[in-house]
Structure 1
Amino acid sequence: MTDRTILCFGDSNTHGTRALATLDSQGRFPRAERWPQVMAAELRDGWEVIAEGHPGRTTVFDDPVEGSHKNGLTVLPALLETHRPLDLVIVMLGTNDTKTRFSAPAFDIAKGLERIAATIRLSGSGPDRGAPGVLLAAPVPVVETGVLAPMFAGAAEKSRALAPLLRDVAGRLGTGFVDLGGVAEVDPVDGVHLTAEGQAAIGRAMAGAVQAMFS
Structure 2
Amino acid sequence: MREKRIVCFGDSNTWGYDVVTNGRFGKDVRYTGILQNLLEEYIVVEEGLCGRTAVFEDPLNEGMNGLKYLVPCLQSHSKIEWLTIMLGTNDCKERFSATAQNIADGVRRLIRTAKSLDVWETEPHILVITPPPIEKGCETSAVAGEMGVCSEKSSKLAKLYEVHTKNEGCYYINAGEFCKMNDIDYMHLDAESHKKLAMQIFQTIKNEV
* TM-score interval, normalised by the smaller of the two chains: over 0.9
Residue 196 (structure 2) aligned to one of 191, 201, 204: 201
User: Retained in 2: the 8 A contact 1:58–1:71?
Assistant: yes
Could you state the TM-score of these two structures normalised by the residue count of structure 2? 0.94
- Counterpart of 1:133? 125
Aligned amino acid, residue 19 of structure 1: V
Residue 29 (structure 1) aligned to one of 25, 28, 34: 25
Aligned amino acid, residue 39 of structure 1: L
Superposed CA offset, 1:18-52 (max 9, x none): 126xxxx7411011110011112222x31111010
- Counterpart of 1:122? 116
Pair 1:50 & 2:42 matched? no
- Counterpart of 2:99? 105
Pair 1:174 & 2:169 matched? yes
Superposed CA offset, 1:163-209 (max 9, x none): 01000001110000000001210011101111111111111111112
CA distance in 2, matches of 1:163, 1:190: 21
Q: More displaced, 47-56 or 196-205? A: 196-205
CA distance in 2, matches of 1:10, 1:205: 16
CA distance in 1, matches of 2:86, 2:75: 19
Give the deviation of 1:153 after TM superposition.
2.9
- Counterpart of 1:151? 146
User: Retained in 2: the 8 A contact 1:124–1:132?
Assistant: no
CA distance in 1, matches of 2:183, 2:84: 26
- Counterpart of 1:188? 183
Moved beyond 6 Å, runs of 4+: none
User: Retained in 2: the 8 A contact 1:61–1:97?
Assistant: yes
Superposed CA offset, 1:101-126 (max 9, x none): 10111100000000000000001110
Aligned amino acid, residue 142 of structure 1: I
Aligned amino acid, residue 141 of structure 1: P
CA distance in 2, matches of 1:123, 1:137: 20
Secondary structure in structure 2 of the residue aligned to 1:33: coil
CA-based RMSD of the aligned residues comes to 1.5
Where do 5+ consecutive residues of structure 2 fail to align? none
CA distance in 2, matches of 1:80, 1:42: 23
* Residue correspondences, number: 206
